[in-house]
Amino acid sequence: MTKFKNIDSLGALEGKRVLLRADLNVPMKTEEDGTRVVTDDTRIQSVTPTIKALSEKGARVIVISHFGRPQGQRDMDLSLEPLGQPLANTTKLPVSYIDDCIGDEVVEVIDAMEDGAVLLLENVRFYKQETKNDPEFSAALSRNADVFVNDAFSCCHRAHASTVGVAELLPSAAGLALEKELVALEGALGSPERPVAALVGGAKVSTKLDVLTNLVEKVDHLIIGGGMANTFLAAQGVDVGASLCEHDLAETAKGIMNNAVAHDCVLHLPSDVVVAKEFAANAENRTTGTNDVQPDEMILDVGAISATSLAAELESCKTLIWNGPMGAFEIAPFDAATVALAVKAGELTESGSLVSVAGGGDTVAALNHAGVADKFSHISTAGGAFLEWMEGKKLPGVEVLLAE
């Protein structure tokens, strides 16, 4: 099991200045009077236990985050100031704010903080040095603190000053949410209970090529659904009609299928599909074998026979990793296979026979749609970082927290 440093490894924190990297890049909307309000506080909720734990230990908690893409400019439409109150609401602690993240004034304010207090710094991407992992900027950030805690898994695939640079300069650790995430991911792909199934769906093979390439070498069952299954079917000579399909990736798909055989990975493609002539809710549709798709028809979901047999396959598995929907789940009735498999995975997890880990924006939306998100063992809201983890890449923000 990979060992990384956690908050306990930092020792006593009373009176210590803790720089806490959060991901406060949350969805917001601007009201008519110009106020910016949070529309989804999942990421604020996620960092809340760490802020509370650090504060209870008597640390001075200095929260740092990026917001949007200000391109190294001070852009008050991307200020973190409006995040102070939501943070205060979830932590039930007073949260003060300062309009910068480095410099003498920031250091003075931090020096005057009481133990247990929480301070929110301004958007770290107002400095272009942040995304360049500039050593001088990292040094300036590290002047704010005695120790560094990263609780933003969603930012760990980027080697930036506030994720990697500062961690190289200060004693560092993973926060509670990051620790939970890393333990769950390690359990799913690092040293999982077998058999392991990966369910990969979504629109295109091209965006998940590295994911598929990595998974065929690691998992026992690779279930491919969504638009990307069409590319694999077409590579096998199936006429997919007007379906979304990347015909130019036929050779790549064949390579993945051959690699699966070489690694004893059973690759599952649908044998029946739901087809329609238009991509619209409640479009007239029919379920048919993959050998009977007409030129003007699009495959929009995995058929019921395949979904049932895949659900039965999950019963024999101990671990499931899921990214991407099985069909065009946003429009009924093409959500059926996604919902059926999500419900099955939720039931098996609840009964204790399956460890289920899912991640990625659309996947979280699909599992919420199926009403089973809370039944999964772990759901990652990180997009890019979760995919890079599925690709088998080392995440620089995590590597820097590994115990020697």
Among the listed residues 5, 16, 43, 60, the single catalytic one is 43
3-state DSSP assignment of residue 174: strand
**Residue nearer to ligand AMP on the CB measure, 300 or 336:** 300
What angle, rounded to 10 degrees, do the helices at 250-262 and 209-218 form?
Answer: 20
210 touches ligand AMP by CB under 6 A: no
- Asked whether the bond before 135 is cis by omega within 30 degrees of 0, the reply is no
Among the listed residues 68, 289, 361, 371, the single catalytic one is 361
Containing 298, the helix (H) or strand (E) segment is: strand 298-302
How would you class 83 by CB atoms within 10 Å of its CB: exposed for 0-12, middle for 13-18, buried for 19 or more? Answer: buried
Please choose, out of 39-47, 150-158, 322-330, 392-400, the segment that lies near ligand AMP by the rule CB under 6 A.
Answer: 322-330
Which residue bears the tokens 């001070």? Answer: 74
Lookup: tokens for 208: 């998940």
The Cα 347–Cα 343 span in angstroms is 6
Q: Which residues pair with 402 in a beta bridge?
A: 4
- Residues 6+ positions from 374 with CB-CB distance below 8 Å: none
The Cα 160–Cα 277 span in angstroms is 46
What angle, rounded to 10 degrees, do the helices at 250-262 and 226-235 form?
Answer: 90
DSSP annotation of 57 reads T
3-state DSSP assignment of residue 206: helix
Lookup: tokens for 174: 């993973």
**Which 244-263 positions form the footprint of ligand AMP (CB under 6 A)?**
244
**Residue nearer to ligand AMP on the CB measure, 192 or 227:** 227
Please choose, out of 154-162, 253-261, 321-329, 393-401, the segment that lies near ligand AMP by the rule CB under 6 A.
Answer: 321-329
**Residue nearer to ligand AMP on the CB measure, 70 or 227:** 227
CB of 30 to ligand AMP, least distance (A): 26
330 touches ligand AMP by CB under 6 A: yes
**Which 59-98 positions form the footprint of ligand AMP (CB under 6 A)?**
none
324 touches ligand AMP by CB under 6 A: yes
270 touches ligand AMP by CB under 6 A: no
**Which 347-366 positions form the footprint of ligand AMP (CB under 6 A)?**
362
Q: Taken in order 142, 144, 149, 152, is the CA torsion positive or negative? A: negative
Q: Kindly tell me which residue out of 70, 175, 227, 303 binds ligand AMP, with binding defined by CB under 6 A.
A: 227
The Cα 154–Cα 42 span in angstroms is 12
CB of 358 to ligand AMP, least distance (A): 11
- For β-strands 36-38 and 60-64, DSSP reports them as unpaired
Does the annotation mark 69 as catalytic? no
Does the annotation mark 128 as catalytic? no
Please choose, out of 27-35, 146-154, 200-208, 252-260, the segment that lies near ligand AMP by the rule CB under 6 A.
Answer: 200-208
The Cα 402–Cα 340 span in angstroms is 39
- Which amino acid appears at position 73 of this protein? Q
Among the listed residues 52, 132, 143, 204, the single catalytic one is 204
**Which 279-318 positions form the footprint of ligand AMP (CB under 6 A)?**
299-300
215 touches ligand AMP by CB under 6 A: no
Does the annotation mark 43 as catalytic? yes
Please choose, out of 9-17, 169-177, 199-207, 369-377, the segment that lies near ligand AMP by the rule CB under 6 A.
Answer: 199-207
Nearest 5°: the CA angle 221, 388, 7 is 110
**Residue nearer to ligand AMP on the CB measure, 164 or 300:** 300
Does the annotation mark 383 as catalytic? no
CB of 363 to ligand AMP, least distance (A): 7
CB of 321 to ligand AMP, least distance (A): 14
139 touches ligand AMP by CB under 6 A: no
- For β-strands 272-276 and 298-302, DSSP reports them as antiparallel
Q: Kindly tell me which residue out of 327, 346, 359, 397 binds ligand AMP, with binding defined by CB under 6 A.
A: 327
Catalytic residues, by residue number, are: 43, 204, 361, 384
Applying CB under 6 A, the residues found at the interface with ligand AMP are 202-204, 207, 226-227, 244, 299-300, 324-325, 327-330, 362
